[in-house]
Amino acid sequence: MHRRGLVHRDVKPSNIIFVKGHAKLADIGLVAHTGEKSHWGTEGYIPPEGPGKPQADLYSLGMYCTKLALARIDWSIRICQQTSTQSLSAKRFLN
């Protein structure tokens, strides 16, 4: 896409699908030529300089990967917290 002078302008989790183990970009309705000025995109995935360049798509992908990694860390922390809370609040029986 970028080699053809096009940018996606809305890379976000719901626009990344997996087909046979490979990531594909979906929802190409906002695809435009590189450098075309616009204010399209999804909040939280738009780079500070705005969409319109290939680097903006990479920024959006980086935000997705960061959020994915943080979600995994958050999930792991929550599991550890639940486990320790359950362990501390469990009644202990001594025989």
Cβ-in-10-Å burial (0-12, 13-18, 19+) of 61 comes to: middle
Active-site residue identified among 10, 27, 57, 74: 10
**Phi then psi dihedrals of residue 58, to 5 deg:** -65, -40
Amino acid, single-letter form, for residue 71: A
Q: Residue 27 catalytic? A: no
Question: How distant, in Å, are the alpha carbons of 29, 46, 73 from that of 10?
Answer: 9, 8, 25
Query: Could you list the active site residues?
Result: 10
